[in-house]
Amino acid sequence: MLKLIPYGRIGETEDIARAAVWLASDTSDYVIGTTLFVDGGMMLYPSFREGG
């Protein structure tokens, strides 16, 4: 399965936590209305984007 993940490792809870902390911080104050994918690059695969 690791070969299918562009980043080369399984995501961990800390990955999501770091993104959430960043979004809650003043550093992201100019970010409005976006989708933040924390998926190690899986959205790069068209078949994954389409659900399979």
pLDDT digit string, tens, across residues 1-52:
787 788 889 999 999 999 999 999 999 999 998 889 999 988 887 676 666 5
Q: What is the pLDDT of residue 31?
A: 92
pLDDT tens track for 21-31: 999 999 999 99
Q: Which domain holds residue 25?
A: 2-49
Kindly provide the b/e burial profile for residues 17-33, where b requires at least 16 CB atoms within 10 angstroms of the residue's own CB.
Answer: eeeeeeeeeeeeeeeee
Q: What is the pLDDT of residue 14?
A: 98
User: Distance between terminal CA atoms of the chain?
Assistant: 14
Q: What is the pLDDT of residue 51?
A: 62
Q: Which two tokens stand for residue 8?
A: 């080369």
pTM: 0.71
In the chain, the number of structural domains is 1
Q: What is the pLDDT of residue 20?
A: 96
Query: Which distant-in-sequence residues (6+ apart) come within 8 Å of 36 by Cβ?
Result: 19, 23
